[in-house]
Amino acid sequence: MKKRFFYLLTVCICGCMSMFGQTDSAKVLRPLKASAEDYIKLLNRNGYEAFTFDISSLTDGQYNITFKIKEYKDGQKIKDDIWGGYATLRNMTLLSEFPEDDQKNVKPEDMADPDRGIYAMGKKIMIGFTPIVNDSIQPIWIEVENMGSGGNQLQMLPQYVNNDRINSNRSFQYYARPFKTGEIATGKFLPLVLLGSVWYDKDAGVFRFCGEKEINPDMSSQILRYIPHYYVIGIEVNPKKIL
């Protein structure tokens, strides 16, 4: 009888240990491969941010895409185009633009659309920001997919309250917001991204950048009433050749 009791007790203890062991082993930390979203979060935290836009509706022809940057201070436009109209890229390159001898060496499989004679084509554009330089210079990068890219630098301004400069690193903080997008009207400026400074709320003693997540193209968004300094980055599209 004692042997039988000892055997049952041993089974019970071993069973309980096994049960608790299974519970403990379920709490396991396993390594995972970092996702694209993880990298995007890391890049955003370190000053990298990109906005992309679909321009595939322009594949009916060849267009000049001119990137423009307008600068505003205290609600007034002070520069109509920082680039001066020189940041122009095309949405496609035609085979007919090559010298005749070079055209003969281009294989159909190396072309974006051999049936229409399109050698290269971009269906999206990108406006991006890289880490700030010297605490007050914001680099900007623009690109038309497969067609080309370029960059510029935007000056960030300090904040003033009652004509007194605020000595704070936060005074130079700028944030980007996309504009609401819609139909592309050729020959007209289309705003795409706003880069604006924080503003100082003297009543609360804090810096703010709160408001609409998307800016109205007609500049009627409430947030623009508070931002003391901002840039509007956009494009103007003009037809070059309809295919």
228 Cβ contact list (under 8 Å, min separation 6):
73, 74, 157, 159, 197, 199
The DSSP output letter for 43 is H
Strand partners, 239: 63
**Helix (H, G, I), strand (E, B), or coil: what is residue 33?**
coil
How do residues 181-231 score in pLDDT, each as one tens digit? 989 999 999 999 999 999 888 888 888 898 999 999 999 999 999 999 999
Task: List average pLDDT for each run of 10 residues in the chain, which is 243 residues long.
Answer: 48 49 72 93 91 96 97 95 92 96 94 96 97 90 96 88 65 89 94 94 85 95 95 96 83
Locate 229 and state its tokens. Answer: 């300094």
The helix or strand, by DSSP H or E, that contains position 77, with its residue range, turns out to be strand 76-79
Query: CA 231 → CA 16, 56, 152, 222, distances in Å?
Result: 67, 26, 13, 16
**Residue from 187, 180, 153, 176 nearest 65 by CA:** 187
Q: pTM for the whole thing?
A: 0.83
Locate 100 and state its tokens. Answer: 């005749």
User: Where do the structural domains in the chain lie, given as residue ranges?
Assistant: 35-242
Write down the pLDDT at residue 6.
47
Give the separation between CA 150 and CA 140, rounded to whole angstroms: 9
How do residues 37-48 score in pLDDT, each as one tens digit? 999 899 988 889
